[in-house]
């Protein structure tokens, strides 16, 4: 793993570790934490569901597993900071980790539908947002506070959002949120709250620092230290994105045919329709072959063979979704002071010599 920070623990797999497997092994799954990893005792842990509901619930893990149908969803989690390094090349972003293209991973999650739990609690008509609370206190928040987030009720009741206790057939490791986490399929990772303790139905979005202040897209000219709550665009559904996983950046392959592979991810309610590759900076393009998707909430992998000329080569990749939208060309046009949502064309540099 490429470790950006030991405490809090933030690490991503090298791109090659994500190639060739649609389900990311636990050892290679990226970790994104804002505070120390809590070690909760699953036996005494309880989940509270409260707020604008007709019936407050308090559930042990056993009760949760016994009372609601088990659901499995293959879903990709992607941090809003994925590929931030490409924005830092445009202009420095102090205090934020320079994530490469590995702040994204895919697991087969097992849990229950949040929709089923909310139906049991009975959402009142004024319940427009569902907030999640966890115990890990982040010193980065202003003021320091436990991690939290919220999603609109429409997404929360749409079935694919899970309260998960297992990934890839194993109980969640502590670092990924044991005993229970939210998995908001198709949305930025920040909303998939780990170490979940409380679900609150409310009229307004969460006032937590990580919902009201961080994970918002400010204009390039804004000073994040001066930005008040609710400024900027609250990030939710993940933006269409792609990356090249193999060959690696800076590789020195021989000229001739070479296989290039990568991922593409369309985010909430959209699917990847096409991936193009160019070896002449975007003047001409060839279509990559899309592998079969692991499910509607997961990334797709793609591959193609390109004919590498001798010398310095830049490989460019861009994805299209089924609405006809394509990734934007330049990271400069997307630069924002916290370095979120870099979904510009993927670029990779090779030196090809015999
Ligand atoms: N309680 C809690 N939940 C959290 C976080 C956190 O710091 N604390 N980080 C969020 C962010 S920003 C991301 S991208 C994902 C990362 O999940 P992972 O570490 O399992 O990959 O968890 C989200 N849930
Ligand atoms: Mo994130």
- 134 and 282 assigned to the same domain: no
CATH code for the domain of 295: 2.60.40.650
To the question of pTM greater than 0.75 for the whole model, the response is yes
- Which of 216, 234, 252 is the last residue before a domain boundary? 234
Q: What is the pLDDT of residue 304?
A: 97
Give how many domains the chain has, as a whole number.
Answer: 2
Within 13 Å and on the Cβ side, how many CA atoms surround 107? 27
Q: Model confidence over 171-184: pLDDT tens digits?
A: 999 999 999 999 99
CB of 30 sitting under 6 A from ligand 1 = yes
59 bridge partner residues: 47
Read off the pLDDT band of 127 (50, 70, 90).
very high
| Closest atom of ligand 1 to CA, residue 189 | 14
In angstroms, how far apart are the furthest CA atoms of the chain? 71
- 220 and 248 assigned to the same domain: no
- 57 and 184 assigned to the same domain: yes
- 154 and 16 assigned to the same domain: yes
Mean pLDDT of 258-270: 96
pLDDT > 90: what percent of the chain? Answer: 96
Q: What is the pLDDT of residue 186?
A: 98
- 117 and 171 assigned to the same domain: yes
- 228 and 150 assigned to the same domain: yes
The domain of 302 spans 241-352
Best mutation site among 162, 190, 195, 341 for ligand 1 pocket (most ligand atoms within 8 Å of CB): 190
- 170 and 25 assigned to the same domain: yes
Residue with tokens 């636990």: 26
Read off the pLDDT band of 228 (50, 70, 90).
confident
DSSP for residue 53: B
- 250 and 200 assigned to the same domain: no
Q: What is the pLDDT of residue 190?
A: 98
Residue with tokens 């009760």: 63
CATH code for the domain of 168: 3.90.420.10
Residue with CA at minimum distance from ligand 1 atom 1? 194
Mean pLDDT of 155-179: 98
Q: Model confidence over 273-314: pLDDT tens digits?
A: 999 999 999 999 999 999 998 999 999 999 999 999 999 999
DSSP for residue 220: T
Q: What would the two tokens of residue 291 be?
A: 């592998």
Centre of ligand 1 to C-alpha 190, Å, is: 5
- 222 and 261 assigned to the same domain: no
- 178 and 319 assigned to the same domain: no
Average pLDDT taken over every residue of the chain: 97
- Which of 189, 214, 234 is the last residue before a domain boundary? 234
- 151 and 223 assigned to the same domain: yes
Ligand minimally distant from the alpha carbon of residue 104: 1
Q: What is the pLDDT of residue 229?
A: 80
Read off the pLDDT band of 116 (50, 70, 90).
very high
Q: What is the pLDDT of residue 115?
A: 98
| Closest atom of ligand 1 to CA, residue 134 | 1
Cα 75 to Cα 189: distance, rounded to the nearest angstrom: 11
- Which of 184, 202, 234 is the last residue before a domain boundary? 234
Mean pLDDT of 180-205: 98
Residues in the chain: 354
Task: Region of 232 please: left (phi>0), alpha (psi -120 to 50) or beta.
Answer: left
Q: What is the pLDDT of residue 171?
A: 98
Q: What is the pLDDT of residue 227?
A: 83
Q: What is the pLDDT of residue 142?
A: 87
- 14 and 100 assigned to the same domain: yes
């Amino acid at each position: 793993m490429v470790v950006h920070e030991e405490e809090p623990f933030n690490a991503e797999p090298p791109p090659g570790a994500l190639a060739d497997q649609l389900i990311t092994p636990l050892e290679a799954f990226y970790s994104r934490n804002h505070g120390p990893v809590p070690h909760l005792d699953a036996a005494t842990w309880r989940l509270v569901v409260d707020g604008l509901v007709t019936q407050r619930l308090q559930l042990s893990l056993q009760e949760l597993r016994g009372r609601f149908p088990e659901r499995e969803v293959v879903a990709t989690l992607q941090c809003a900071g994925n590929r931030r390094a490409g924005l830092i090349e445009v202009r420095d972003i102090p205090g934020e980790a320079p994530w490469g293209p590995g702040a994204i991973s895919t697991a087969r999650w097992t849990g229950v539908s949040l929709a089923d739990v909310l139906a049991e609690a009975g959402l009142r008509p004024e319940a427009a947002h569902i907030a999640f609370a966890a115990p890990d206190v982040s010193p980065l928040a202003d003021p320091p506070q436990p991690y939290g987030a919220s999603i609109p009720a429409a997404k929360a009741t749409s079935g694919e959002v899970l309260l998960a206790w297992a990934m890839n057939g194993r109980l969640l490791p502590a670092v990924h949120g044991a005993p229970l986490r939210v998995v908001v399929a198709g949305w930025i990772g920040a909303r998939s709250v780990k170490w979940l303790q409380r679900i609150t139905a409310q009229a307004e979005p969460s006032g937590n620092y990580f919902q009201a202040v961080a994970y918002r897209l400010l204009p390039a000219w804004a000073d994040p230290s001066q930005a008040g709550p609710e400024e900027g665009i609250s990030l939710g559904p993940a933006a269409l994105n792609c990356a090249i996983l193999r060959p690696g950046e800076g590789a020195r392959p021989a000229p001739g045919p070479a296989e290039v592979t990568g991922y593409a991810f369309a985010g909430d309610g959209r699917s990847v329709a096409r991936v193009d590759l160019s070896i002449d900076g975007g003047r001409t393009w060839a279509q990559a072959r899309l592998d079969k998707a692991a499910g509607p909430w997961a990334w797709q992998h793609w591959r193609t063979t390109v004919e590498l000329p001798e010398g310095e080569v830049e490989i460019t990749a861009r994805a299209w979704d089924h609405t006809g939208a394509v990734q934007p060309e330049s990271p400069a046009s997307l630069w924002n002071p916290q370095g979120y949502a870099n979904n510009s064309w993927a670029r990779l540099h090779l030196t090809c010599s015999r």
